[in-house]
Structure 1
Amino acid sequence: MHTDVIFDSDGLRLSGALHLPSDLANGGQRPAIAVLHGFGSNKDDGMVRLATRLFSSLGYVVLRFDMRGCGDSEGELGKVLCEDQVSDTLNAVSYLQSLPEVDPGKIAVMGHSFGAAVAVYAAGVDPRIVACISSAGWGDGEIKLRQQHAAPGAWARFEAMVEDGRARLAKGQSVQVSRFDIVPIPPAMRGNLPAGSFMEFPFEVVESMLRFRPNAVVGNIAPRPLLLLHPADDSVTPTEQSIELFRHARMPAELHLFAEIDHFIFSDDSRAALNLVTEWLHKFFPARPAASGAA
């Protein structure tokens, strides 16, 4: 069960779904987790819903929400700028802090892919976020895009697209770019894209990704805990991106790579990943106080 909610982000109304644990007593407070959706997706993404179910079952207050321009939120459709999504995430934290059911000093963020990069950056610039989980995320937009366009001639085609986009924008022309010209996804994997995902984006999204570098701020998260998850062989977001995030991070940070799974880590079949996240939360960001009086 959830409650549909609306909260403000820089003058825009963002749409969310608030999930309260079933055993939360009247007047009680719990830690909260904001779950961030992926590239041009929305709060009804299957990965978002699965993570929400997991966190709710463990006793957390959970907020899943549509970033500006996505789902039911206000904003220019498909204009998913990294910096704007960081702002939306920080405003989601403010909203959670305002709720009587939430312990305002215990708010975490979790994101997947594009949302993971946003989660890491948000945690790196705002100490109100006391724990961060990144699933198949990335730390340097330009390097990531170079790695994703590594086939012969692919980067030259990408650069030509960027030059054309910049020239047309300078003339005041609107430019739309195909999702797969920005982030190539093998055809066999495209069925995993959530319903309602955007297939085209304004060119400004490309520029935003090129300049976005969570690596620059991930070290600021310490001494707050950081969990990095990534497939050992990811055909969408190169595994090296999470490895580099870990290299730039400071303790306590953990990096876990998973074999025989590709990009979309959170699924009912990924018991190893779900169990690891559960154990990490119990250790670093428990939903309830530890039982007292144990022998």
Structure 2
Amino acid sequence: MHTVVTFDSDGLRLAGALHLPPNLAAGERRPAIAVLHGFGSNKDDGMVQLATRLFSSLGYVVLRFDMRGCGSSEGELGKVLCEDQVSDTRNAVSYLQSLPEVDPAKIAVMGHSFGAAVAVYAAGVDSRIVACISSAGWGDGEVKLRQQHAGSAAWQRFEAMVEEGRARLARGQSMQVSRFDIVPIPPEMRSNLPAGSFMEFPFEVVESMLRFRPNAVVGNIAPRPLLLLHPADDSVTPTEQSIGLFRNARMPAELHLFSGIDHFIFSDDNRAVLNLVTDWLHKFFPARQAPLEAA
């Protein structure tokens, strides 16, 4: 069960779904987790809903929401700028802090892929976020895109697209770019994209990704805990990106690589990931305080 909610982000109304834990007592405040969707996706993404069910079952208040320009939220459709999504995440934290069911000092964020990069950056610049989980995220947009467009011919095609997009912007025009010209995904994996995902984006999205560097702020998260998850062989977001985040982070930070799964790491079948996340939360960000032992 959830409640349909809206909240303000820089003058735009964002659409969300608020999930309260089933055993929440009257007047009780619980820790909360905001779950961030991926690139051009929405709050109804299967990964988002799976993470929401997990966190709610563990006793957290959970907010999943559509970033501006996505799903049912206001904003220019498909204009998913990294910096705007960081602002949306911080405004989601402010919304959670305003709720009587939420402990305002205990709010975490979790994101996958694009949403993971946003989660890490938001935690790096906003100390109100007291824990962060990144799934198949990235730390340096330009390096990531170079890795994704591997080989001189592929990178030259990408550079030609960037040159054309910049020339059009200089003339006051925009340009739509295919999702797969920005982030290549093997054809056999494209069916895993969430329903309602955008297939084209304005060129400004490419520029935003090129300049976005969570690596620059991930070290600021400490001493708050950070959990980095990534497939050991990721054909969408290179595994080296989470390794780079870990190298730039400070303790307490953990990096876990998983074999036998490619990019879409959260699934009901992947109990290893779900169990690890559950144990990490119990250790670093418990939903409820353990009862004091009798003297």
Tell me which interval the TM-score lies in, with the shorter structure as reference length: over 0.9
Q: Which residue pairs with 1:165 in the alignment?
A: 165
Equivalence for 1:90: 90
Amino acid at match of 1:292: L
**Residue pairs, 1:136-175, within 5 angstroms:** 136-175=136-175
Please give the secondary structure, in 1, of the residue aligned with 2:228: strand
CA distance in 2: counterparts of 1:21 and 1:29, whole angstroms: 11
Q: Which secondary structure state, in structure 1, belongs to the residue aligned with residue 290 of structure 2?
A: coil
* Equivalent position amino acid for 1:216 in 2: A
Quote the residue 2:29 is aligned against. Answer: 29
Aligned counterpart, 1:106: 106
The 1-side partners of 2:87 and 2:293 are apart by 43
Distance 1:157 1:137 in 2: 24
Per-residue deviation at 1:12? 0.0
Amino acid at match of 2:225: P
Q: CA offset at residue 174 of structure 1? A: 2.2
The aligned counterpart of 1:292 is: 292
Deviations 1:142-187 (A, max 9, x none): 0000000003400000000000000011111220000000000000
Amino acid of the structure 2 residue aligned with 1:240? E
| Distance in 2 separating the partners of 1:275 and 1:170 | 50
- What residue in structure 1 maps to residue 271 of structure 2? 271
Q: How do 1:238-249 residues align onto structure 2 when only pairs under 5 Å count?
A: 238-249=238-249
Q: 2 CA distance for matches of 1:291 and 1:236?
A: 43
**What is the CA–CA distance in structure 2 between the aligned matches of 1:151 and 1:50, rounded to whole Å?**
36
Q: Distance in 2 between matches of 1:174 and 1:232?
A: 37
Matched letter for residue 287 of structure 1: A
Q: Which string of whole-angstrom CA distances, capped at 9 and with x for unpartnered residues, describes residues 111-148 of structure 1?
A: 00000000000000000000000000000000000000
The one-letter code of the counterpart of 1:4 is V
- The superposition leaves residues 53-101 of structure 1 with CA deviations (integer Å, 9 ceiling, x where unpaired) of 0000000000000000000000000000000000000000000000000
For 2:50 and 2:70, the matched residues in 1 are separated by: 19
Judged with a 3 Å threshold, the aligned counterparts in structure 2 of structure 1 residues 212 and 18 are, in CA distance, closer, same or farther, namely same
SS state of the match for residue 153, structure 1?
helix
Distance 2:200 2:87 in 1: 22
What CA distance in whole angstroms lies between the structure 1 residues aligned with 2:144 and 2:269?
Answer: 27
Q: How does 1:196-215 map to 2 (within 5 A)?
A: 196-215=196-215
Q: What pairs up with 1:214-229 in 2 under 5 angstroms?
A: 214-229=214-229
Question: Secondary structure of the residue that 1:100 maps to in structure 2?
Answer: coil
TM-score by length of 1: 0.99
For residues 7 and 173 of structure 1, what CA distance do their matches in structure 2 show? 31
Aligned partner of 1:122 in structure 2 is: 122
Q: CA deviation at 1:218?
A: 0.1
What do the CA deviations read for 1:238-271 (whole angstroms, capped 9, x no partner)?
0000000000000000000000000000000110
Separation in 1 of the partners of 2:12 and 2:120? Answer: 23
Unmatched runs of 5 consecutive residues or more in structure 2 = none
The amino acid that maps onto 1:10 is: D
Structure 1 runs of 4+ with >2 Å offset: none
CA distance in 2, matches of 1:143, 1:121: 16
Q: Deviations over 1:179-223 (max 9, x none)?
A: 000000000000000000000000000000000000000000000
> Which amino acid in structure 2 is aligned with residue 222 of structure 1?
A
Structure 2 distance, partners of 1:269, 1:205, is 33
Q: How many residues align?
A: 295
Once residues 239 and 21 of structure 1 are traced to their aligned partners in structure 2, the CA distance between those partners, rounded to angstroms, is: 34
C-alpha distance in structure 2 between counterparts of 1:174 and 1:128, whole Å: 36
Partners of 2:179 and 2:265 in 1: CA distance = 21
Corresponding residue for residue 135 of structure 1: 135
The 3-state SS of whatever aligns with 2:142 is helix
Task: Say yes or no: does 1:15 pair with 2:8.
Answer: no
State how far apart, in whole Å, the 2-side matches of 1:174 and 1:119 are.
28
Counterpart check, 1:66 vs 2:57: no
Aligned amino acid, residue 191 of structure 2? G
Give the match for residue 6 of structure 1.
6
